[in-house]
């Protein structure tokens, strides 16, 4: 890496603490979730965000987009939502000079830097699948024509864990497309007190733009250049392979799991560990990065058996056992 390029990267990386501080002007607490969303963005992946209503999921994502100078769109998923409502559709237009009619592709809300797919499990599988190509390929295909999505591109899908009537659970193949599965918890007593004080008056904090979209693309490029030792890659490989009951050395896994994580989980863990290093202004991965991110990366890639569900065993418990 040339000196000039290295200086640029260091300048941009130094803005990340300021970015978190700026988001903190609006969002009280939830620092872990904010970090994980930023890690997904740095790694070029997407998030599934789970939390009960009222935890400021929408506000968190919108605030982050504002501080990053990125376009933000929110799509409310409903049972009658169609794929065209997400990716767009063709409309018939007329050329006023020639009088000829032609079809023009009218872009949908997915053409934004940050897309919030709110309550994704409330819409049928046909519409859920409309996100798949966009998430994996970074483009939309309509009538045989490819339309590139903006860079950077982040989909954050939310779902409510307590209300399952009238929902369509995401299939395992689609769950695997999400880089991180983030769980939001209730705020602490002090944090909730701050929310009550700061959000019920007339004051509205003004957000500054900390990073441009191009600087975020530069950071995504830098993330892939972060150093990770062969020993840590070996540890990640062993951890992921240990989630598979047919070959796992863990009796806990063999007892409670039906199947484990695939190679994509290992790729995600390497990439996200690099992203966490960048977020913490480091240029090398440490074991703490892997241990912290094992939960949001593996929890939706491990399938428990019926006995485990009956005994209220969770995938987080399986990961905890493996990390011991």
- 183 beta partners: 50
Identify the band that residue 39 occupies on the pLDDT scale cut at 50, 70 and 90. Answer: very high
The answer to whether residues 115 and 155 touch, using CB atoms and an 8 Å cutoff, is yes
Task: Identify the sign of the CA torsion 43, 295, 267, 115.
Answer: negative
**Tell me: the pLDDT tens digits for 129-140?**
888 778 888 888
Q: What percent of the chain has pLDDT over 90?
A: 27
Distances (CA, A) of 93 to 85, 101, 103, 108: 19, 6, 6, 17
**Distance between CA atoms of 140 and 153, rounded to whole angstroms?**
12
Q: Look at residue 121 and give its three-state secondary structure.
A: helix
Mean pLDDT (the chain, rounded)? 86
- Dihedral over alpha carbons 299, 304, 310, 312 (to 10 degrees): -20
Mean pLDDT calculated for residue range 292-299: 94
- 142 beta partners: 145
**Distance between CA atoms of 304 and 324, rounded to whole angstroms?**
19
**Distance between CA atoms of 118 and 160, rounded to whole angstroms?**
9
**Distance between CA atoms of 197 and 191, rounded to whole angstroms?**
10
Question: Residue 247: phi, psi to the nearest 5?
Answer: -130, 5
Q: What is the pLDDT of residue 51?
A: 81
Distances (CA, A) of 12 to 37, 222, 233, 279: 18, 10, 27, 11
The reported pTM is 0.88
**Tell me: the pLDDT tens digits for 51-100?**
877 777 888 888 888 888 888 899 998 888 888 888 888 888 877 777 78
- Domains, the chain, ordered by start: 1-79+110-199+211-225 (3.40.50.300), 228-323 (1.10.8.80)
Cα 222 from chain centre = 19
Radius of gyration of the chain (CA): 21
Mean pLDDT calculated for residue range 113-123: 88
Stronger pLDDT, 207 or 158, i.e. the higher one: 158
In the predicted structure, residue 200 carries a pLDDT above the cut 70: yes
| 317 burial via Cβ count (<10 Å: 0-12, 13-18, 19+) | middle
In the predicted structure, residue 9 carries a pLDDT above the cut 90: no
């Amino acid at each position: 890496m040339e000196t000039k390029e290295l200086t640029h990267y260091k300048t941009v990386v130094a803005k990340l603490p300021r970015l978190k501080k700026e988001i903190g002007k609006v969002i009280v607490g939830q620092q872990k979730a904010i970090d994980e969303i930023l890690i997904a963005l740095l790694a070029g992946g997407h998030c599934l965000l789970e939390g009960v209503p009222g935890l400021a999921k929408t506000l968190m994502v919108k605030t982050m987009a504002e501080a990053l100078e990125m376009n933000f769109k929110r799509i409310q998923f409903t049972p009658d939502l169609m794929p065209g409502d997400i990716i767009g559709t063709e409309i018939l237009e007329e050329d006023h000079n020639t009088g000829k009619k032609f079809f023009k592709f009218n872009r949908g809300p997915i053409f934004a830097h940050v897309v919030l797919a709110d309550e994704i499990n409330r819409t049928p599988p046909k519409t859920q699948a409309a996100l798949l190509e966009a998430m994996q390929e970074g483009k939309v295909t309509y009538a045989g024509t490819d339309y590139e999505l903006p860079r950077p591109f982040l989909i954050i899908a939310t779902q409510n864990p307590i209300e399952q009537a009238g929902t369509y659970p995401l299939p395992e193949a689609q769950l695997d497309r999400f880089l991180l599965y983030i769980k939001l918890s209730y705020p602490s007593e002090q944090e909730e007190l701050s929310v009550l004080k700061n959000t019920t008056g007339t004051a509205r904090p003004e957000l500054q733009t900390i990073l441009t979209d191009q600087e975020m693309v530069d950071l995504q490029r830098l993330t892939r250049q972060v150093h990770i030792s062969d020993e840590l890659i070996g540890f990640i490989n062993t951890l992921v392979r240990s989630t598979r009951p047919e070959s796992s050395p863990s009796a806990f896994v063999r007892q409670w799991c039906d199947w484990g994580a695939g190679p994509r989980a290992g790729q995600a863990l390497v990439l996200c560990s690099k992203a966490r290093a960048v977020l913490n202004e480091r240029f090398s991965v440490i074991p703490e990065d892997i241990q912290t991110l094992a939960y949001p990366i593996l929890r939706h890639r491990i399938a428990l058996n019926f006995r485990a569900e009956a005994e209220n065993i969770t995938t987080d418990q399986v990961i905890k056992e493996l990390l011991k």
